[in-house]
Chains A and B, each alone.
Chain A
Amino acid sequence: MSIKVKYFASIREALGRSEDELAARPGMTVDQVWQTSAQIAVPANTIVSVNEEFSHWQQFVSDGDEVAFFPPVTGG
């Protein structure tokens, strides 16, 4: 089991990839997911989601979760 990490829009472009797979560690937070997977400074105003719900950087994650990082939304 692992955590699926997704990147969208300008963050996807900055990283040069749209997804990562990460081995989950006990007590791992969204912030630690970013530090482990992206390995660059967090772009300003980055928004996070866990399992397709808006979330926050201190949210704990576990095996099978899908974590996404993206800039403020601009649809409509």
Chain B
Amino acid sequence: MVIVSEKAFQPWQVLADYESQRAGLQGQIGASAVFVGTMRTVNQGRTIEAMTLEHYPGMTEKYLKLVCSEAGEKWQILDSFVQHRYGRILPDEPIVLVAVWSQHRDSAFKACRYIIDELKTRAPFWKQEQTGEGSHWVEKNT
């Protein structure tokens, strides 16, 4: 499942809702790995007041699904979930949620790591940071 949304989200609630509605995996999951990326107020020495995330609708979802699919080919996972924000984001708000479920921890950890790492280099999102001195585009990921 891949969700790209402007709306702020609470990752633990999103996961609880998703897991409660998911059918067919009862008794199979032995490991769940979760990554949550949140907005911080300091980046490369600057104090950041807010952030605006732009994306390429259509291509974004396509690449998020592709990366999840690749993770499923590389490791034995049972399910994956990605939710990513766009639009205006404030400090401490979650930007991205990646969750992977598998039978064993190694696959869950590795697939989760793969999805977030690939997302950061292939999913077409762009961050613009707002500081007290104006706004600027983030030129490379940290």
For the complex formed, measure the closest distance between the CB of B128 and the CB atoms of chain A, giving whole angstroms.
Answer: 7
Q: Does B141 contact A (CB under 8 A)?
A: yes
**Chain A contact residue count (CB 8 A cutoff):** 18
Residue of B nearest to A9 (CB): B126
Contacts of A68 in B (CB 8 A): 56, 59
Contacts of B37 in A (CB 8 A): 76
The answer on a CB contact under 8 Å between A9 and B128 is yes
The answer on a CB contact under 8 Å between B116 and A74 is no
Q: CA of A61 to CA of B58 in the docked complex: distance in angstroms?
A: 19
Looking at the complex, which one of B56, B58, B120, B139 makes contact with A76 (CB distance below 8 Å)? B120
The answer on a CB contact under 8 Å between A71 and B126 is yes
Looking at the complex, which one of B58, B62, B84 makes contact with A75 (CB distance below 8 Å)? B84
Q: Does B111 contact A (CB under 8 A)?
A: no
Q: Does A8 contact B (CB under 8 A)?
A: yes
Return the CB mask of A14-33 against B: 1 if under 8 Å, else 0.
00000000000000000000
Contacts of A76 in B (CB 8 A): 37, 84, 95-96, 116, 119-120, 123, 125, 141
Residue of A nearest to B136 (CB): A10
Given contacts A8-B124, A52-B58, contact A75 B139 (CB under 8 A): no
The answer on a CB contact under 8 Å between A8 and B96 is no
Contacts of B139 in A (CB 8 A): 71-72, 74
The answer on a CB contact under 8 Å between A6 and B127 is no
Residue of B nearest to A6 (CB): B56
Residues of A within 8 A of B (CB): 6, 8-10, 12-13, 49, 52-54, 68, 70-76
Please name 24 pairs of A and B residues whose Cβ atoms are closer than 8 Å in the assembled complex, sorted by A. Answer: A8-B56, A9-B126, A9-B128, A49-B56, A52-B59, A52-B62, A53-B59, A54-B122, A70-B126, A71-B126, A72-B139, A72-B141, A73-B120, A73-B123, A73-B124, A73-B126, A74-B120, A75-B96, A75-B119, A75-B126, A75-B127, A76-B37, A76-B116, A76-B123
